[in-house]
């Protein structure tokens, strides 16, 4: 029987239980509709959260960590803040027609504390920047849930900060994720 620790190692690093010298690979995909990507934008008068449940997340693991890859891709238009006017304005602010996707591709996945440190490249608004973040796995009866978050600065990605009543939003944008996959 696989223990949660073994499953975690299989899911994120591809190293545990991999036969020595054998070609070993495993792929996982986020379950659409259950998994979420979100952003949190703060203005002095209120907080704005947008959520997407329609994105791709592919985890391809191999026995050699150099070949393991985590890729996430979401169309900007799929984020919903429960205000269609605000969502339309957000698409304008981030040039959603010219740059329709936000994408992440990992470069490394390393064990750390209660989870893993993921390092990679985030491509947003036509700008690619290195980022790293911590992920924490949870095991829920046949599914693996991976949670985490990281902050970026809008100005680092050449996004003009939108304003309300001539007061701009904070430069920090929090990106969070709650990903579900079958074990």
Residue 60 belongs to a domain with what CATH number? 2.40.128.110
Model pLDDT, residue 25? 65
**Token pair recorded at residue 13:** 């690093």
DSSP letter (8 states) at residue 110: E
> Contact, 143 vs 181, CB < 8 A?
yes
Domain that holds residue 170: 4-182
| Per-residue pLDDT tens digits of the chain, which is 183 residues long | 444 443 444 444 433 333 333 444 667 789 999 999 999 999 888 899 999 999 999 877 655 555 667 899 999 999 999 999 989 989 999 999 999 999 999 998 877 888 788 899 999 999 999 999 998 888 888 888 888 999 999 999 999 988 878 888 899 999 999 999 887
Model pLDDT, residue 37? 95
Model pLDDT, residue 66? 59
- CA–CA separation, 176 vs 179, rounded Å? 10
If one counts the domains in the chain, the total is: 1
Model pLDDT, residue 135? 85
Residues contacting residue 2 through CB under 8 Å, at least 6 positions apart: 10, 183
Whole-model pTM: value is: 0.81
Chain centroid, CA 127 distance in Å: 16
- CA–CA separation, 180 vs 101, rounded Å? 21
- CA–CA separation, 116 vs 9, rounded Å? 10
Model pLDDT, residue 149? 94
């Amino acid at each position: 029987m696989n223990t949660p620790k073994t499953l975690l190692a299989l899911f994120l690093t591809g190293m545990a239980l991999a036969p020595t010298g054998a070609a070993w690979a495993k792929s996982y995909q986020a379950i659409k509709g259950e998994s979420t990507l979100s952003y949190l934008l703060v203005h002095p008068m209120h907080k704005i959260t947008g959520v997407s449940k329609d994105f791709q997340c592919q985890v391809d693991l191999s026995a050699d960590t150099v070949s393991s890859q985590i890729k996430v891709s979401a169309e900007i238009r799929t984020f919903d803040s429960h205000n269609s006017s605000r969502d339309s304005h957000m698409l304008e602010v981030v040039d959603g027609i010219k740059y329709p996707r936000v994408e992440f591709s990992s470069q490394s996945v390393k064990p750390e504390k209660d989870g893993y440190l993921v390092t990679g490249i985030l491509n947003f608004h036509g700008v690619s920047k290195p980022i790293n973040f911590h992920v924490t796995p949870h095991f829920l009866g046949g599914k693996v849930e991976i949670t985490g978050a990281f902050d970026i600065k809008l100005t680092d990605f050449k996004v003009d900060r939108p304003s309300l009543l001539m007061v701009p939003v904070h430069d920090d944008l929090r990106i969070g994720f709650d990903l579900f996959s079958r074990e």
